[in-house]
Structure 1
Amino acid sequence: MSNTLPDPKARLLDAALDHVPFDGWSEATFAAAISDCDMDPTMARAICPRGAVDLAVAYHKRGDALMLERLAEAPLKGMRFRDKIATALRFRLEAVSDKEVVRRGSALFALPQYAAEGAKLIWDTADAIWTALGDTSEDVNWYTKRATLSAVYTASVLYWLGDTSDEHAATRAFVDRRINEVMQVEKLKAQVRESPTLSRLMAGPNWLLSRVKAPVRPPKADLPGSWTSPRR
């Protein structure tokens, strides 16, 4: 018999998902989740100081984790890169258990006090996709790739929320169109770099952009209690 106990936050989140479609990511939902789990309210508040808001964040991160699990098992070898991105976005949307839960989350993170956190969650999703697909950019492209994919992901979610087509075929076509548009921009950038005249015109801005570097990620450490010395 396993002695592993379920993660308390995961228990709260699972319980909350039954109430979110009706009460949103609210205090009412959080209180109902606590009751359903038969958890001490003080412990629940220690786990989620902001109540249902912290559960909404956990739900988004759970979706990212499920997407990454599927990507790790998917036969991506031989796919065009645009198809890999489309596959990742499809996996991310399919990680959602209930559209209404996402709709309620969109309303929550549209509020001024949570908008910045909502934007960060979307950025983190885009970063997770690029990292999983092997992105090694270390310059300004690190930022532009994630900013562009964040916009594509946001638009795709909004479209998907209203999509009633069979197996969300309309959403898949929408994603493909958005990715094709991004690829056209990348093609234009390549043409500028290859043009003697345009490349000279862009020499100054390109030099400035070359000074922009991707953030340094701390090395992954599997050992408990590991410590990374701060950069000076």
Structure 2
Amino acid sequence: MTHDTQTDADPGPEATPNAADRLLDAALLNVPFDGWSEATLRAATNETGISAGLAKALFPRGAVDLALAYHKRGDDEMARRFAAEDHSDLRYSEKVARAIRIRLELADRELVRRGATLFALPQHATDGAKAIWGSADAVWTALGDTSEDVNWYTKRMTLSGVYSATVLFWLGDDSLEQQATWDFLDRRIANVMQFEKAKARATDSRLGQALAKGPLALLSRLRAPQRPGDMPGSFGA
């Protein structure tokens, strides 16, 4: 049997490639007033003339998917801008700092503040954590990270902590040109580099080698995801 009617789950011909971007652009103007909310999404549909059915298909969970789309847009733009720059004179830690700085400079503090309120809700906390992890992954990918073992996970876990702490500092920073934030970021990355050096020394020690063959042997088999979204990865032979 065929059907001539269109369901909400089927975006149909109205779903042009930039429909989601048009909705998001319109929503951004309303977020400072109504937050990441259903009211904001409704206002965006009215502004763009896009049907409520298509908006529902593009953002099934409404406001939370809209906020995640804004976050992902920032990650993608950071990667694009970072790739367009010359970083040949920067140390690796400085490249990490540069990528995070680009990411924050792209963001609007009021929109991020509203997002932090949304993702602080228990039902959306997991989405917020995934968004932070996604930003850390975007930074490492932009830097050309090629790790495929447990280091793939530890790098992103560590940077997620640095990034989330820096975002919280940045939200309350009223210093000139947010210089206090960039100083804070440099200190956090310096701490991470010290930790990585200590970890390398521990790994090379006799105790570290013994642990690697014993209790930590399972971690050595952990492999990075082979495609986007393929979490939590897999265990090799």
Give the aligned partner of residue 130 of structure 2.
Answer: 120
Give the aligned partner of residue 189 of structure 2.
Answer: 179
Distance 1:201 1:91, change over 3 A: same
> SS in structure 2 opposite 1:129?
helix
Give the aligned partner of residue 29 of structure 1.
Answer: 40
Note the residue ranges of structure 2 that are not aligned, 5 or more in a row. Answer: 1-15, 229-237
> SS in structure 2 opposite 1:136?
coil
1:73 aligns with 2:84: yes
1:88 aligns with 2:99: yes
- Report the RMSD for the aligned CA atoms in angstroms: 1.7
1:209 aligns with 2:216: no
Distance 1:190 1:38, change over 3 A: same
Range with greater deviation from structure 2 (208-217 or 175-184): 208-217
Length-normalised TM-score, structure 1: 0.86
For this pair of structures, how many residues does the alignment match?
Answer: 213
Report 1:10-29 matches (<5 A): 10-29=21-40
Give the aligned partner of residue 112 of structure 2.
Answer: 102
- Counterpart AA for 2:177: E
Displacement of 1:173 in angstroms is 0.5
Distance 1:187 1:15, change over 3 A: same
1:63 aligns with 2:74: yes
Report 1:181-200 matches (<5 A): 181-200=191-210
> SS in structure 2 opposite 1:12?
helix
> SS in structure 1 opposite 2:152?
helix
More relative contact order, 1 or 2 (CA 8 Å, 6+ apart): 1
Give the aligned partner of residue 171 of structure 2.
Answer: 161
